[in-house]
């Protein structure tokens, strides 16, 4: 059956219901530019989506050397052909007239066009000068979760190996540092235990601070199809906003922001009290349960209800569902990772599974979610404050392995302390010890907290700032040298989604002008710097994407993220493949920890762990004493109130986050007409109760202020819980024509981070709101999801004929939700 749907109005498309244990039916979504007939497409080139972490496999339609559309890949295990709105429409940004096509260099205060030799020679001259005068610690790299595996591994080898700086991190610090840390704390190593196929088997799915409907919309379609089929799962939702997940939940807990640890301790308390635990599994496979039980004692439902401001009865009901589930799947994302006590809270979700023995079986597992499409690879390849192959910086034999692989001296790889985290790198730049910062594929002038401070750091004369992007972003405007990159569709490489599925993305078209793939840029830098290994061979020795991938395979051999069984050829044609994939598991691995064995032995583990409250690292000897036999680690944490709480002057809790139609700082989605029209400007979500108390109506212009700054936007009176304001963080000022900063959420956010994962806190701050005046109509916020208005007279969000998408499936039932 073939249907045509406005996929701005109906983001999740047509339902294809299925029952527990069945395979998710295929539905192939296709969108082509207007006027392009399917049979006029010249080539379909294999890839996967790059605007979230789901890894939806797709083919890129090419006609006359240009991208003209996309089609989902029905054979793929991840999406079975489906695509989300950003996947369907976002590719149009590639063809934007305002792509960067030539390098830029600052001359007399202005950025002017130049050639590659001039741009690269300026970077090389500054690098050499700094290395000679100040040493490697004067140079830092701030990269992304949006490049390809081959690019991260190359950057990691250049930074950690050839230069020897410890200052290498990614925007993944803002994104999934807590996911990685929570996995290390509980299982001794990064790597997702679960698989997306667990959605097909679960009978309870619990989502913790995760608005999957808007942020991994195809994964939500999978859950919706289970909900529409026989014996559907019960959904538990923990989120202060009325997300689509909350609407479909059997229990929705809407805690005060920043109280997640109290809430989790409350759930665990009930589960232990009722003995809904698997004692034998705990005994055989874990350490630390007794400390947990002691820690939980005070967290009675009544006490927790008071801290979180949720009804005690709902807490009990959520605990009962989770505690009695036969097959429990949990997901965790930014409502935990970017909130107060991030790692401590995320680890308590792992604990739910450890005390119930719910791991490594169909329908049982934890997804400590990723956000960005390639964040998993930033972590695996050591471009973000981890070391390549999930190696442990505090284990000398792991450093020796890397030195041998890279054929350099062990002493050349910095490991005197943990790799520097992003917020600390910006602090070093502020203080002046970091003198050159190379930013690739991220836009910190909009995405970091407390933007007034970030602007002042990045604009300093004494900081040499290199920005490698595809557009002239707010950050590029502050650079000394801007390098024009080729992007997805214009270069080849691999990347790995949340559930360890590796996809290949092939080059479909030529990049615009002189733009070059990020991999080529990094390798060109290495050649011009003349980096060498011990035998005087070029370092890194590889020369293109496939040779970089082959080198990475050697680095991954024997580690949890083992890619040795994967080749580019195997990734072409069929479905993506889940790592580990090696001689023992030639077809890949669906679930980790099926045998209750963990990657946590003291000699093998990625990290020795930290104190969940203070972040103090454990000594190797302490870890060995705690966990000699490679078990999973149950770690308890007490709840502590957030540093910045609502006060008389700033009476609201401010949270920030996403909408379905935009990706981050909108450099791509703001240039896709259907997506931009669906959410053209920023807004502020406020509850009806608070709106009434402040004389605010839908569409009124508000000023929101925090101790850091202010912004102005129209009010959306929504079902958000009272006492909380929500602002989307997508809106910078590249497209306002001016330099006014007062619409970016990060003007308001606080410079503070989780002590364990060092992830900045974007979801716990205090703010005040003032009504400035009436607006011209309702807020420019979508009506389809969490930002839906309470007022019914507002025109629903729609993309009209321009957003019609073809959906092809064997059998479907009608309806969007
Ligand atoms: N459409 C879209 N999709 C995306 C992205 C995008 O920009 N746009 N970005 C991708 C990336 S990089 C990421 S990291 C993911 C993020 O995906 P999500 O984490 O799902 O998205 P967010 O909107 O940041 O936050 C999720 C929810 O956390 C809730 N929340 C806020 N504070 C708290 C709290 O203290 N406790 C609890 N329990 N909940 C809280 C918010 O109400 C919000 O609904 O999305 C990915 N997918
Ligand atoms: N207040 C608040 N702030 C947040 C968050 C929040 O929830 N609230 N979320 C945080 C999270 S989870 C994230 S992931 C970050 C995201 O923050 P950023 O990473 O700053 O956001 P993006 O807009 O994705 O920036 C990516 C940049 O890379 C460029 N680019 C795209 N493709 C390529 C390529 O192939 N090569 C190169 N060289 N460049 C490319 C894009 O044009 C864009 O400028 O924001 C964080 N900041
Ligand atoms: Mo993210």
Nearest CA to ligand 1 atom 14: 371
For the segment 804-811, the average pLDDT, to the nearest whole number, is 90
Residue 38 belongs to domain with CATH number:
3.30.200
Helix (H) or strand (E) holding 90: helix 85-90
Whether ligand 1 lies within 6 angstroms of the CB of 71 is answered as no
In a domain, 568, yes or no: no
Q: Is the pLDDT of residue 259 over 70?
A: yes
Give the global pTM.
0.98
11 and 797 in contact (C-beta within 8 Å)?
A: no
Nearest CA to ligand 1 atom 1: 660
Residue 214 belongs to domain with CATH number:
3.40.228.10
Share above pLDDT 90 across residues of the chain, in percent, rounded to a whole number: 97
The atom number, within ligand 1, closest to the CA of 258 reads 35
Q: Is the pLDDT of residue 758 over 60?
A: yes
Q: What is the pLDDT of residue 417?
A: 87
Centroid of ligand 3 to alpha carbon of 812 (angstroms):
33
For the segment 316-339, the average pLDDT, to the nearest whole number, is 98
For the segment 684-702, the average pLDDT, to the nearest whole number, is 98
The atom number, within ligand 1, closest to the CA of 210 reads 20
* Boundaries of domain holding 516: 104-175+374-529+548-557
Whether ligand 1 lies within 6 angstroms of the CB of 386 is answered as no
The atom number, within ligand 2, closest to the CA of 666 reads 23
Alpha helices for 545-666 (secondary structure H): 545-556, 568-571, 620-626
* Pair 273, 227 in one domain: yes
Whether ligand 1 lies within 6 angstroms of the CB of 719 is answered as no
Q: What is the number of the ligand closest to the CA of 476?
A: 2
* Pair 330, 429 in one domain: no
Nearest CA to ligand 2 atom 25: 442
In a domain, 566, yes or no: no
Give ligand 2 pocket residues (Cβ under 6 A): 144-146, 171, 174-175, 334, 338, 371-372, 440-444, 447, 468-471, 473, 485, 487-488, 518, 656-657, 664-665, 667, 729, 745-746, 749, 762
Q: What is the pLDDT of residue 739?
A: 67
Whether ligand 1 lies within 6 angstroms of the CB of 209 is answered as yes
- Ligand 2 pocket: which of 470, 725, 733 to mutate (most atoms within 8 A of CB): 470
* Pair 553, 418 in one domain: yes
Centroid of ligand 3 to alpha carbon of 349 (angstroms):
19
Residues 561-596 have pLDDT tens digits of 999 999 999 999 999 999 999 999 999 999 999 999
In a domain, 572, yes or no: no
Mark which of 572, 604, 633 sits at the end of a domain.
Answer: 633
In a domain, 657, yes or no: yes
Cβ neighbours around 722 below 10 Å, total? 16
Q: What is the pLDDT of residue 814?
A: 43
For the segment 341-364, the average pLDDT, to the nearest whole number, is 98
* Pair 623, 708 in one domain: no
Helix (H) or strand (E) holding 2: strand 2-6
Cβ neighbours around 459 below 10 Å, total? 12
Q: What's the burial of 95, exposed, middle or buried (CB within 10 Å: 0-12/13-18/19+)?
A: middle
Q: What is the pLDDT of residue 815?
A: 39
Q: What's the burial of 546, exposed, middle or buried (CB within 10 Å: 0-12/13-18/19+)?
A: middle
In a domain, 639, yes or no: no
Q: What is the number of the ligand closest to the CA of 334?
A: 1
Whether ligand 1 lies within 6 angstroms of the CB of 658 is answered as yes
690, β-bridge pairs: none
In a domain, 119, yes or no: yes
Mark which of 604, 633, 662 sits at the end of a domain.
Answer: 633
Whether ligand 1 lies within 6 angstroms of the CB of 668 is answered as no
Whether ligand 1 lies within 6 angstroms of the CB of 335 is answered as yes
Number of separate domains in the chain = 4
Q: Where residue 647 falls among pLDDT bands split at 50, 70, 90?
A: very high
Q: Is the pLDDT of residue 816 over 50?
A: no
- Residue 514 φ/ψ region, left for φ over 0, alpha for ψ in the -120 to 50 degree band, beta for the rest: alpha
| Cα 613 → chain centroid | 23
In a domain, 589, yes or no: no
The atom number, within ligand 1, closest to the CA of 729 reads 7
Q: What is the number of the ligand closest to the CA of 369?
A: 1
For 194, half-sphere exposure in the C-beta direction (CA atoms, 13 angstrom radius) is: 29
514, β-bridge pairs: none
Whether ligand 1 lies within 6 angstroms of the CB of 371 is answered as yes
* Pair 115, 144 in one domain: yes
Report the chain's mean pLDDT, rounded to a whole number. 97
In a domain, 705, yes or no: yes
For the segment 21-40, the average pLDDT, to the nearest whole number, is 97
Nearest CA to ligand 2 atom 28: 441
Q: What is the pLDDT of residue 690?
A: 98
Share above pLDDT 70 across residues of the chain, in percent, rounded to a whole number: 99
Q: What's the burial of 300, exposed, middle or buried (CB within 10 Å: 0-12/13-18/19+)?
A: middle
Nearest CA to ligand 2 atom 13: 175
- Ligand 1 pocket: which of 84, 93, 215, 788 to mutate (most atoms within 8 A of CB): 215
519 contacts: CB under 8 Å, gap ≥ 6: 148, 150, 151, 154, 491, 493, 544, 545, 548
Q: Which is nearest to 489 in space by CA: 68, 33, 56?
A: 68
Q: Where residue 811 falls among pLDDT bands split at 50, 70, 90?
A: low
Residues 48-105 have pLDDT tens digits of 999 999 999 999 999 999 999 999 999 999 999 999 999 999 999 999 999 999 999 9
* Pair 154, 197 in one domain: no
Whether ligand 1 lies within 6 angstroms of the CB of 657 is answered as yes
Q: How far apart are the first and last CA of the chain?
A: 18
Whether ligand 1 lies within 6 angstroms of the CB of 786 is answered as yes
Centroid of ligand 1 to alpha carbon of 335 (angstroms):
6
Whether ligand 1 lies within 6 angstroms of the CB of 763 is answered as yes
* Pair 667, 782 in one domain: yes
* Pair 362, 439 in one domain: no
* Pair 170, 183 in one domain: no
- Ligand 2 pocket: which of 176, 505, 665 to mutate (most atoms within 8 A of CB): 665
* Pair 192, 328 in one domain: yes
Residue 141 belongs to domain with CATH number:
3.40.50.740
Whether ligand 1 lies within 6 angstroms of the CB of 662 is answered as yes
What CA–CA distances, in Å, run from 408 to 537, 540, 721?
11, 11, 56
* Pair 337, 194 in one domain: yes
Q: What is the number of the ligand closest to the CA of 211?
A: 1
Centroid of ligand 1 to alpha carbon of 209 (angstroms):
7
Residues recorded for the chain: 817
* Pair 363, 382 in one domain: no
Q: Where residue 817 falls among pLDDT bands split at 50, 70, 90?
A: very low
């Amino acid at each position: 059956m073939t249907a045509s749907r406005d996929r701005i109005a109906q983001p999740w498309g047509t339902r294809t219901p299925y029952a527990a244990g069945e395979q998710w039916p295929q539905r192939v979504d296709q969108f082509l530019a207007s006027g392009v007939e399917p049979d006029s497409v010249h080539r379909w080139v294999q890839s996967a989506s790059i605007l979230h972490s789901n890894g939806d496999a797709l083919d890129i339609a090419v006609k006359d050397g240009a991208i003209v559309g996309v089609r989902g890949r029905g054979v793929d295990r991840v999406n079975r052909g489906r695509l989300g709105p950003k996947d369907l429409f976002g590719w149009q940004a590639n063809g934007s007239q305002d792509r960067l096509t030539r390098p830029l260099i600052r001359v007399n205060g202005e950025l002017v066009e130049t050639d590659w030799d001039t741009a690269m020679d300026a970077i090389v001259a500054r690098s050499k000068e700094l290395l000679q005068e100040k040493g490697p610690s004067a140079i830092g790299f701030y990269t992304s979760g949006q490049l390809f595996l081959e690019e991260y591994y190359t950057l990691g080898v250049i930074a950690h190996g050839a230069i020897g700086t410890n200052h290498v991190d990614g925007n993944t610090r803002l994104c999934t540092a807590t996911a990685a840390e929570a996995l290390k704390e509980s299982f001794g190593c990064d790597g997702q235990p679960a698989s997306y196929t667990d959605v097909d088997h679960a009978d309870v799915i619990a989502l913790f601070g995760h608005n999957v409907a808007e942020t991994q919309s195809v994964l939500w379609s999978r859950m919706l199809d289970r909900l529409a089929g026989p014996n559907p799962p019960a959904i538990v939702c923990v989120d202060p906003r009325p997300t689509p997940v909350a609407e479909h939940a059997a229990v929705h807990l809407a805690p005060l922001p920043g109280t997640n640890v109290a809430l989790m301790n409350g759930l665990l308390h009930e589960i232990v009290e009722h003995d809904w635990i698997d004692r034998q599994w705990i005994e055989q496979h874990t350490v630390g349960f007794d400390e947990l039980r002691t820690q939980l004692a005070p967290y009675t439902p009544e006490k927790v209800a008071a801290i979180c401001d949720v009804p005690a009865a709902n807490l009990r009901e959520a605990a009962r569902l989770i505690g009695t589930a036969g097959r429990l799947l949990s997901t965790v994302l930014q409502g935990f990772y970017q909130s107060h006590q991030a790692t401590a809270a995320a680890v308590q979700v792992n604990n739910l599974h450890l005390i119930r023995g719910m791991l490594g079986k169909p329908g049982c597992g934890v997804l400590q979610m990723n956000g960005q499409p390639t964040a998993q690879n930033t972590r695996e390849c050591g471009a973000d404050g981890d070391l390549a192959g999930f190696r442990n910086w505090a284990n000398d034999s792991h450093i020796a392995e890397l030195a041998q692989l890279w054929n350099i001296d062990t002493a050349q790889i910095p490991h005197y302390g943990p790799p520097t985290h992003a917020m600390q790198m910006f602090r070093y730049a502020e203080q002046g010890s970091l003198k050159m910062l190379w930013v690739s594929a991220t836009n910190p002038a909009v995405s970091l907290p407390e933007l007034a401070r970030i602007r002042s750091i990045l604009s300093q004369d004494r900081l040499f700032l290199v920005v490698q992007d595809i557009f002239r972003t707010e950050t590029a405007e502050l650079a000394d040298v801007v390098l024009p990159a080729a992007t997805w569709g214009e270069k080849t490489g691999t990347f790995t989604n949340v559930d360890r599925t590796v996809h290949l993305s092939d080059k479909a078209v030529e990049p615009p002008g002189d733009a070059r793939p990020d991999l080529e840029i990094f390798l060109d830098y290495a050649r011009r710097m003349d980096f060498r290994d011990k035998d005087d061979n070029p370092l890194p020795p590889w020369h293109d994407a496939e040779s970089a991938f082959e080198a990475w395979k050697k680095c991954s051999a024997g580690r949890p993220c083992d890619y040795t069984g994967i080749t580019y050829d195997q990734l072409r044609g069929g479905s993506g493949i889940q790592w580990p994939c090696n001689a023992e598991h030639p077809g890949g691995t669906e679930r980790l920890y099926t045998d209750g064995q963990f990657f946590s032995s003291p000699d093998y583990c990625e990290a020795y762990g930290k104190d969940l409250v203070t972040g103090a690292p454990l000594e190797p000897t302490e870890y060995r004493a705690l966990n000699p036999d490679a078990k999973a680690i149950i770690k308890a944490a007490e709840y502590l109130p957030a540093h910045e709480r609502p006060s008389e002057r700033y009476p609201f809790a401010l949270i920030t986050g996403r909408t379905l139609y935009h990706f981050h700082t909108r450099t791509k989605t703001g240039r896709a007409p259907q997506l931009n029209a669906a959410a053209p400007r920023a807004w502020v979500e406020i509850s009806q109760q608070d709106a009434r108390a402040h004389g605010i109506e839908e569409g009124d212009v508000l000023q929101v202020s925090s101790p850091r700054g202010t912004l102005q936007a129209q009010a959306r009176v929504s079902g958000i819980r009272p006492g909380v304001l929500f602002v989307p963080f997508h809106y910078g000022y590249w497209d306002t024509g001016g330099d006014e900063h007062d619409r970016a959420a990060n003007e308001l956010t606080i410079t503070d981070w989780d002590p364990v994962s060092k992830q900045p806190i974007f979801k716990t701050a205090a703010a005040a709101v003032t009504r400035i005046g009436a607006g011209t109509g309702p807020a420019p916020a979508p009506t389809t999801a969490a930002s839906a208005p309470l007022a019914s007279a507002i025109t629903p969000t729609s993309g009209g004929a321009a957003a019609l998408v073809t959906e092809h499936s064997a059998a479907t039932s009608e309806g969007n939700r």
